Structure 1
Amino acid sequence: MRAGSFGQLTQDKENTTQVTFHYVEGNTETFTIPIPASEFQEEVLQLLNQPWLTFHLVDQTVFICTARLIKVEIKPAIPELQGQGIFSNSMRVSTMQRAAAGRLPMNT
């Protein structure tokens, strides 16, 4: 790594958004796009209403059929999204946490 490259990586990370698509068939694909999450959040809901999304990569172009998606993950988080059907301050519960909760005695 050349001198000063860590700063460039940090800056690049701040100016990119990682999007993971989960398809109905069980496959996943992740793309990094050169847009800060703050800008991406302004368009994300409109983008998901489009029938197709297009990603131009260095060696190919990929079309995503939004009708075949069951989940989309975006990193970093975009908590600025507000409105109906959007739940702030949510937490993911792992399988181990669910299993442990089922084994703990309940106080009545």
Structure 2
Amino acid sequence: MTIHDIIEGKKQWRAHMARVKSLPPDYQIVYREIQKYFFKVGPVALTEGNLLAELLDFFEQGVASGRGVLDVVGSDVAAFCDELIGDEPTHAELYQRSITAEPGGAGK
């Protein structure tokens, strides 16, 4: 990764967060809680895909249609998160598999 890539990534992240700040307060709160959940769980799609960008697009559509955030995601936000990542592997699972696959790993 070059310095240019890092700078470009920061610019994209700042633009993304500016979009989040333009959401109504209830959407912002739920978005940040989902973001924390994903950062904690660590789905691979978070770093390799556009999971947060797609979530933000989904929220912006909800705002445009005049729906409340809980009408969009449901009353169980954690279940909504789990459904979004589905069977997507997490970084923790990949790490666990890697250490159990190594000779002399804990799983042997």
Q: TM-score, normalised by structure 1?
A: 0.29
Higher helix share: 2
Q: TM-score, normalised by structure 2?
A: 0.29
| Bigger radius of gyration | 1
Higher strand share: 1
